[in-house]
Amino acid sequence: MRWRTERMDRGKGINNGDLKRRNRGLALKLIATGESNTRTGIARASRLTKMSVSNIIDELIQKDLIVEGEQERGEQQGRRPLSLEFSPKAPKMIGVLINREYCAAVLCDFHLNVIRTERREMDYHEKGWLLENIYGLIDSMLEVEKNILGIGVASIGPLDVVRGMILRPPRFYGIRDLPLASLLKERYGLPVFMDHQYNSAARAEKLFGCGKEFSSFIFVGITNGIGAGIYLDGGILQNRAGLGSELGHISVDYQGNLCDCGSRGCVETYAGTNAIVSRVEAATGKKMTFAECCAHSHEAVIRRILTEALEKLSICLVSVSNLLNPEAIILGHESVKLPEEFLKEMESYINRYKLSEDSGESHIKLQKPYFGEDSQLVGAACNVLAQAFEGKLLFE
């Protein structure tokens, strides 16, 4: 299996035009992510000359992307640099999230602020449901805003990310090789960018959330299945086979539970939310959702079941940490409902058993995402922003 990170694509065949677009994208990124909002700050952060930055900013103002903020009145009038903000006329992004349980759409601005969201629960019995509802969700976002930079899709896999296709997810409307990106491009005349849901979530957390401070981290999404988005030294790890990072199928016991994938002891057969909910039901006779299990985790039986499940997950995360040596692990999707004490226990387990010494910098942090359960959804819109920040949109 071959892997690549986004970073490795950079630096290939850069010409002047590419460089110009890239610098404009970088200026947008610095303003959008709040890293700097003055000409001087951008020059410092980008290592471009003040003259180049001034030219770039003038162009961004001309394009109605940026406006110069009001000069504040007071003693320092005349000295304080003008702050740069996104223009109300700047385009917005639409994100679409496709997972097993529901589809959702979001309308975001350049700061990844949410303007509107809508969600539709899945109905597995209706044929054609998926496309119809994706169109419905996007149409609903377009009612609020017509000026759209692009559509980002975050989806379950396997996917062909380059061609924008959903390949053949098991038990998913019988979908085979659905060219979703082309269909959306054709219908809306907008650029479309697609990635796995947890890669998208990791991208949003890296640019705007708690991933900002880490140069490598793993976003782990826990629902019925368990998947990951891996951010390593400048890029998201992409799997050429079209799969996401399938953390859930790492075996923690070769003689363990039989998994749908044919293997035994896959960690999601213990720590997936369905597995946990079923064990709670078997032990207590009560049918609870995963959120309810978390809310009742003070009850001894439920606490024991959660602890055992999360210990299995921790064992898996120790292996992953030994392999990738991340600075942090972000636990997202349904696991944001876990009480903090469980995260603390997992963090200490992982650091106790990982191979590298647990001191200062090598301590692996375990935390919840900045965007909570919405990381994948805003991540969909962020797939568009990431392209804009690379200078691949907006500039000729």
- 342 token code pair: 């469980």
Structure tokens at 58: 């003038």
Q: Is 259 in the site for Zn ion (CB under 5 A)?
A: yes
CB of 213 to Zn ion, least distance (A): 33
- Whether the CB-CB separation of 326 and 318 falls below 8 Å is answered with no
Q: Judged by CB, which is closer to Zn ion: 14, or 258?
A: 258
Residue matched to tokens 């910098």: 361
Does position 243 interact with Zn ion (CB under 5 A)? The reply is: no
CB of residue 309 to Zn ion, shortest distance in Å: 16
257 binds Zn ion per the rule CB under 5 A: no
Closer residue to Zn ion in complex, CB, 179/256: 256
Q: Do you find a cis peptide bond into 158, omega within 30 degrees of 0? A: yes
Q: How far is the CB of 100 from Zn ion (least distance, A)?
A: 15
Q: How far apart are CA 122 and CA 120, in angstroms?
A: 6
* Nearest residue to 153 via CA among 168, 140, 171, 135: 135
Between CA 223 and CA 283 the distance in angstroms is 21
Q: Which is nearer to Zn ion, 266 or 385 (CB)?
A: 266
Answer yes or no whether residue 309 interacts with Zn ion by CB under 5 A: no
Handedness of CA 191, 214, 113, 380 (dihedral sign): positive
> Which tokens go with 52?
């180049």
Nearer to Zn ion, 205 or 268 (CB): 268
Site for Zn ion in 262-281 (CB under 5 A): 263, 266
Residue type, 219: F
Q: Which is nearer to Zn ion, 71 or 263 (CB)?
A: 263
Sheet holding 328-333, edge to edge: 3-5, 235-239, 226-232, 216-222, 328-333, 365-367
Phi (first) and psi of residue 151, to 5 degrees: -115, 130
Which residue stretch of 96-104, 115-123, 151-159, 251-259 sits at the interface with Zn ion (rule: CB under 5 A)?
251-259
Q: Assess 261 for contact with Zn ion (CB under 5 A).
A: yes
Q: Does residue 237 bind Zn ion (CB under 5 A)?
A: no
Residue among 29, 39, 196, 249 that touches Zn ion (CB under 5 A) = 249
Binding of residue 226 to Zn ion (CB under 5 A): no
Taking CB under 5 A as the binding criterion, the range among 36-44, 125-133, 255-263, 371-379 that sits at the site for Zn ion is 255-263
Pick between residue 54 and residue 263 the one whose CB is nearest to Zn ion.
263
Quickly tell me which residue has 């602020």 as its tokens: 113
Identify which of residues 259 and 288 has a Cβ nearer to Zn ion in the complex: 259
Query: Which positions lie near Zn ion, rule CB under 5 A?
Result: 249, 259, 261, 263, 266
